Amino acid sequence: MAWNEPGKNDNDPWKNKGGRDQGPPDLDEFLKDLGNKFGGIFGGKKSGKSGGSNFSSIGAGIIVVIAVVVWAVSGFYTIKEAQRGVVLQFGEFNGMVEPGIHWQPTFIENVIPVDVQTTRDLARRGDMLTQDENLVLVEMQVQYRIVNAREYLFSVTNADQSLEQAFDSAIRYVVGHSKMDEVLTSGREQVRQSVWAELEKVIESYKLGIIIADVNFKDARPPEQVKDAFDDAIAAKEDEERFVLEAQGYALSEEPKARGIAKAIEQEAIAYKEQIVLDAEGQVAKFEKLLPEYQAAPEVTRQRLYLSTMENVYSNTSKVMVDVDGGNNMMYIPLDKIMQNQSKAVQQNSRDLTPVKQSSTETSPNSTVNSTTGRTDRYGRGGN
Amino acid sequence: MKNFSIIILVVLGLLTISSVFVINEGERGIVFQFSKIKRDSDGEMRIYEPGLHFKIPMIERIKKIDARIQTLDGAAARFVTAEKKDVLVDSYVKWKIVDFSTFYVRTAGGDINNARALLTQKVNNGLRTEFGRRTIQQIVSGDRDSLMEEAMISAQSSKADLGIEVVDVRVKRINLPTEVSDSIFKRMRADRHAVAKEHRSQGMEKAQVIEATVNAKVTVMKATAKKNAFTIRGEGDALAAKVYADAYSKDAEFFGFVRSLEAYENSFNSKSDVLIVKPDSDFFHYLKDVKSK
């Protein structure tokens, strides 16, 4: 802060002081005294001007002037924007100064700049006992500003440390009066507010000149020694949800499947109904077409039908003709031989032998189901 | 003349310097005349407030005493609780000197360290008594306030003794001995395990309810579908029967004949069927006899 303006060198500090009118009377008198004495000395020199002592008196004068100038210049100081200055006159509090450039009479006043804008913070952590006798690891932070620089400097030996101690005490007091679950989860805001209130209550009597801007709850954890058990409990909560979700997943997959099966069963029944009726109608149509012909020539038609049927029957089966009357007990028919001979033929043919007509009660296993039935709303389950 | 004036000046300067003293903000001063405390006319000790003061050089001496609130924050002390357990308690005391003369006299010439030692003893005595009456539970969460009150009250006697006022006594932290905290940890563990088990079984419960509900629903759904299916099949059978009956009743005998033929054809249709036939059926009629029947 090299503030050196020659024009101001003759700036008389006392004049400045006179305007302020703040010095204690004894001081003023002392200063006047001093002034008089100096004046006397200089005056003496000036009045008792003898040619020989001219140079030395001038030298002395110059030294004095330089001393005064140096003293005057050394009195300039600035207070930064965020600061306020606490003015002490001979150690006694003598007002505050605002940011900017100021002048003080060195040796008489001194100014202690104090930052009153910056928000400072202070964090404390530690294991603490809760009301339900659990230990929790809590970390909190307090943010504060200095509002009263005089109190901050002079009412306690160390304001910041005092705040720290009070904060320690307040956190533990509040945690000691809360349940563990509150501290760890639900009641954090409540704890934060209580700590704030408690802290303000504690520091009230200390007159720290500090205002609490905010109290933050940074962390609350169970202690390391029991962390795994806590983690397991949290995992269990997740498991609980997982079980439920899995069950819901099962439900959501089973229900549509069942709906599909139900639909298939119904469709098969409908198909069966159609089929059997159509079958009947077909059979009947065939019969009814045949009937007039038969009625026209019954004998011939019967004969013809009978023969063609028997022809089919005998041509498709193995036959043994026995032209013996009265059935002989001793007759031997090598049936097994016949079967063996037939087996090759059977193997070839049996696969592609399909029944002429489907048996009435059998439902084909691979009947397709019309699955484009409109899905009901997934979530509107239950209730029916 | 000039030398003389310079000497006078220097002497005057020295005198001035040694005859003024400054008491800073946050301090108070007391003055000794020949090591005896200077008093007012009514016998009260003179306390010098912050500012500039005069004294008689060489004769009067100054002692400055801190008037700010001070802190006593010693190491954690071991106390025994009502259940005969040791706890480590870290507390602090805020105090300030209010009666400077008493303070000076009782603390071996205003020695702060001396004052601290005396105060520590007093406060610790108070705390010891209070802790001895309480369980850990009570100390932690019951009535820490009243604990502090009590400790303060017992420390208040220091006002008359030492000229010190106790502003506040607070417990900062209470540390439990290892065996106590171990048992706490064990209990916390057990507690968490119980919670974990509860959550898991609740989850299973909910899951089973959901599954059972849906299973029941599915069963009913299928059964209903079957019921409907049988009804529909029955309708089909009935319709078919009616169709058959309507047609075949026109000539039942012929129907029987036609249907039988169909049946024969369907029954004997593979080579593994072995028919043992006599040649006297209608079919073989001409096989034996060329004449007409």
pLDDT per residue over A98-133, tens digit each? 888 888 888 888 888 888 888 999 999 988 888 888
Distant-in-sequence, close-in-space partners of A137: CB < 8 Å, separation ≥ 6? A125, A126, A127, A128, A219, A220, A221, A222, A223, A224
Q: Which of A97-101, B8-12, B264-268, B280-284 has the lowest mean pLDDT?
A: B280-284
Instruction: Name every chain A residue with its beta carbon within 8 A of the beta carbon of B275.
Output: 313-314, 317-320
Question: Taking 70 as the threshold, does the pLDDT of residue A382 lie above it?
Answer: no
B67 Cβ contact list (under 8 Å, min separation 6): B26, B27, B28, B96, B97, B100
Task: Enumerate the residues of chain A whose CB falls inside 8 A of the CB of residue B271.
Answer: 316-318, 342, 345-346, 349
Euclidean distance between CA atoms A206 and B168, whole angstroms: 9
What's residue A249's pLDDT? 94
Least confident of A72-76, A183-187, A238-242, B30-34: B30-34
Question: What is the torsion angle, in degrees rounded to the nearest 10, for the CA atoms of residue A275, residue A279, residue A281 and residue A286?
Answer: 160
Q: A 36-65 residues with CB below 8 A of B? A: 37, 41, 44, 48, 53, 56
> What rounded mean pLDDT belongs to chain A?
77
The pLDDT assigned to A265 comes to 92
Residues 95-124 in A contacting B (C-alpha not used; CB under 8 Å): none
Least confident of A257-261, A297-301, B125-129: B125-129
Contact B200 A239 (CB under 8 A): yes
Q: Could A317 and B218 be called an inter-chain contact, meaning their C-beta atoms sit closer than 8 Å? A: no
Q: Which residue of B has its CA nearest to A268?
A: B229
User: What pLDDT is stored for residue A23 in this prediction?
Assistant: 42
* Structure confidence at residue A15 as a pLDDT band (50, 70, 90): very low
* Residue A67 in contact with partner chain B when CB distance is under 8 A: no
Q: How confident is the model at residue A325 (pLDDT cuts 50, 70, 90)?
A: low
Q: How confident is the model at residue B85 (pLDDT cuts 50, 70, 90)?
A: confident
| Residue B194: per-residue pLDDT | 94
More confident position, B275 or A250: A250
- Residue A374 phi/psi, 5-degree rounding, is -60, 130
Beta-carbon contacts below 8 Å between A and B:
350
**Mean pLDDT along residues A123-144:** 90
B32 vs A: CB within 8 A: no
B22 touches chain A (CB under 8 A): yes
pLDDT at A377: 41
Best of A138, A164, A293, A313 to substitute, by most chain B Cβ atoms within 10 angstroms, is: A313
Q: Is the pLDDT of residue B179 over 90?
A: no
pLDDT score of A328 more than 80? no
A316 vs B contacts (CB less than 8 Å): 268-271
Among the partner-chain residues B140, B233, B269, the one whose CB lies closest to the CB of A176 is B140
Residue A380 in this model has a pLDDT that exceeds 50: no
Residue B217 confidence (pLDDT): 93
Asked if the model's pLDDT at residue A301 lies above 70, the reply is yes
Nearest one of A15, A27, A97 to B51, comparing CA atoms = A27
Please name the member of B167, B231, B277 whose beta carbon is closest to the beta carbon of A321: B277
> What's the pLDDT band for B112 if we cut at 50, 70, 90?
confident
Backbone φ and ψ of B142, nearest 5°: -70, -75
Nearest to A90 among B52, B240, B244 (CB): B52
| Share above pLDDT 90 across residues of chain A, in percent, rounded to a whole number | 26
What is the predicted pLDDT for the residue at B234? 94
Is pLDDT at B69 greater than 50 in this prediction?
A: yes
Residues 6+ apart with CB under 8 A from A108: A89, A90
Q: How confident is the model at residue B90 (pLDDT cuts 50, 70, 90)?
A: confident
CA B170 vs. chain centroid, Å, equals 23
Per-residue DSSP letter, B91: E
CB contact under 8 A, A246 and B207: yes
CB-CB neighbors (< 8 A) of A230 in chain B:
192
**B13 pLDDT higher than 90:** no
| Neighbour-count burial of B82, counting CB atoms closer than 10 A to its CB (0-12 exposed, 13-18 middle, 19+ buried) | middle
Instruction: Determine, for residues B66 and A157 on separate chains, whether the beta-carbon distance falls below 8 Å.
Output: yes
B285-293: average pLDDT: 70
Average pLDDT over residues A137-162: 91
Answering whether pTM is above 0.75, one says no
Q: Which residue has the tokens 């009456």?
A: B133
Q: What is the mean pLDDT of residues A217-223?
A: 89
Which of A74-78, A297-301, B282-286 shows the lowest mean pLDDT across its residues? Answer: B282-286
Q: What is the pLDDT of residue A349?
A: 53
Of A131, A162, A324, nearest to B141 by CB-CB distance is A131
Q: Which of residues 101-120 of B touch A (CB under 8 A)?
A: none
**Per-range mean pLDDT, top range of A44-53, A178-187, B44-53:** A178-187
Contact A230, A341 (CB under 8 A): no
The answer to whether B172 and B71 are in contact (CB under 8 A) is no
Question: Do B110 and B47 meet the contact criterion of CB atoms below 8 Å apart?
Answer: no
* Chain B interface includes A265 (CB < 8 A): yes
Which pLDDT score, from 0 to 100, does residue A47 have? 43
Q: A162 in contact with B at a CB cutoff of 8 Å?
A: yes
Give B131-159 pLDDT, tens digit per residue.
888 887 777 776 666 767 777 777 777 77
A354 touches chain B (CB under 8 A): no
* A5-9, A205-209, A301-305, B49-53: segment of lowest average pLDDT: A5-9
**Alpha-carbon torsion (A202, A208, A213, A214), positive or negative:** negative
Question: Which of A90, A253, A353 best probes binding to B when mutated, by most B CB atoms within 10 angstroms?
Answer: A90
Question: Is a pLDDT exceeding 70 seen at residue A276?
Answer: yes
Share of chain A above pLDDT 70, in %: 71
Decide the pairing of beta strands B36-37 and A318-321. unpaired
Cβ contacts of B73 within 8 Å, gap of 6 or more: A165, B92, B93, B172
Question: Residue B197's pLDDT band (boundaries 50, 70, 90)?
Answer: very high
Spell out which residues of chain B touch residue A248, defining contact as CB-CB under 8 Å. 210
- Give the integer Cα–Cα distance in Å for B7 and A196: 64
Minimal Cβ distance to A346: which of B23, B213, B270: B270
Which residues in B lie closer than 8 A to residue A306 (C-beta atoms)?
261, 282-283
Query: Which pLDDT belongs to residue A37?
Result: 53
Say what the pLDDT of residue B1 is. Answer: 66
- CA-based nearest distance B182→chain A, Å: 9
Position with higher pLDDT, A266 vs A14: A266
- CB contact, 8 Å: A151 with chain B? no
How many angstroms separate the CA atoms of B130 and B122, rounded? 13
Residue A217 has pLDDT above 80, yes or no: yes
